[in-house]
Amino acid sequence: MSILVTGGAGYIGSHTCVELLNAGYEVVVVDNLVNSSKEALNRVMAITSKSLKFYEADILDKDKLSKIFQNEAIDAVIHFAGLKAVGESVEKPFEYYWNNVTGTLTLCDVMQSFGVKNMVFSSSATVYGAPKSVPIKEDFPLSVTNPYGRTKLMLEDILRDLYVADPTLNTILLRYFNPIGAHKSGMISENPKGIPGNLLPYITQVAIGKLDYLRVFGDDYETPDGSGVRDYIHVVDLAKGHVKAIEKLTQNEGILTYNLGTGIGYSVLDVIKTFSKVSGIDIPYKISKRRAGDIAECYADATLAKKELNWEAKYGLVKMCEDSWRWQKNNPDGYEV
């Protein structure tokens, strides 16, 4: 079975490629390398001792995308490709709508042309907006607080509409919470270009001396220590969830939605303290004002994924921090060599 992974050279994409290859799938990657590196795919092949096919292309390029489908017998698509930073989306909403929404429409158009009916879509817990209660279940009301989240919610609605028009489509919407960590080999991980936009890469770069201190956005939330609380999930657990979703697609059940998270909320300060304990390095931080679009707390009820996908997160925060630190120590400049 051949799986096309859009954005497969990225953080979650590369880890998912490892799990797909280890599970015996053939993997074809398309990535424009704007926020990723081809070196990640070289390392995926080194980790698994298996090969994959790579096409450097943008999913907005319908002609290139069509040639890929023409060249490869694609059975299903795992769709990661898109811009993903909440703060940046507030500053650059047009880019987010154009890349995320138009790119996905282009991909769906090409899939339809080649009769590919199966997709796992990379959605996000941001579609729940500011939830009235936690943990969050899949049937909670949906709303958004930033353009990034709005693109994900729009695309969920679009994919549901496409299913209504064509019930032979099989789509799984995976709403992830906050992926962190790295492969245990220390060979692949999140590799931000420039100053990191996510918490743990920022912490690891402070720990290694590339950045002076961490900015904590807000200490006045209604949480136990005032900092934001999130459901941090190990990226390998998340990647394995995609393999389970591919297995589920073969049952032809139409359109399904699952949360992928641990069900545990950790504050920003919890993560700092845990990382400091794991690494033996104090992480200096300064409190800044809240970021636009951020919410106080967000963590999952992932019991539906356990019941229907036979999936649950295995790794805790200590393991996430250990693996992230191993990656950063082994790769102080990321994939740059």
Do the Cβ atoms of 175 and 238 come closer than 8 Å? no
Q: Locate 11 and state its tokens.
A: 């953080």
Beta bridge partner(s), residue 53? 28
Whole-angstrom distance, CA of residue 168 vs CA of residue 162: 10
Given phi > 0 = left and psi -120 to 50 = alpha, else beta, which region is 34? alpha
What's the per-residue H, E or C state across 102-118?
HHHHHHHHHHHHCCCCE
163 is catalytic: no
Whole-angstrom distance, CA of residue 337 vs CA of residue 266: 34
- Tell me which DSSP letter residue 181 carries: -
Q: Locate 27 and state its tokens.
A: 């993997």
- Please name which of 257, 19, 38 lies closest in space to residue 127, comparing C-alpha atoms: 257
Whole-angstrom distance, CA of residue 231 vs CA of residue 98: 28
The one-letter amino acid at 226: G
Name the helix (H) or strand (E) containing 21.
helix 11-22
SS3 24: coil
Catalytic pick from 11, 25, 96, 148?
148
Q: What are phi and psi of 189, to 5 degrees?
A: -170, -170
Burial 248-260 (b: 16+ CB within 10 A, else e): bbeeeeebbbbbb
SS3 122: strand
- Please name which of 254, 252, 243 lies closest in space to residue 305, comparing C-alpha atoms: 243
Name the helix (H) or strand (E) containing 90.
helix 86-91
- Which residue numbers are catalytic? 148
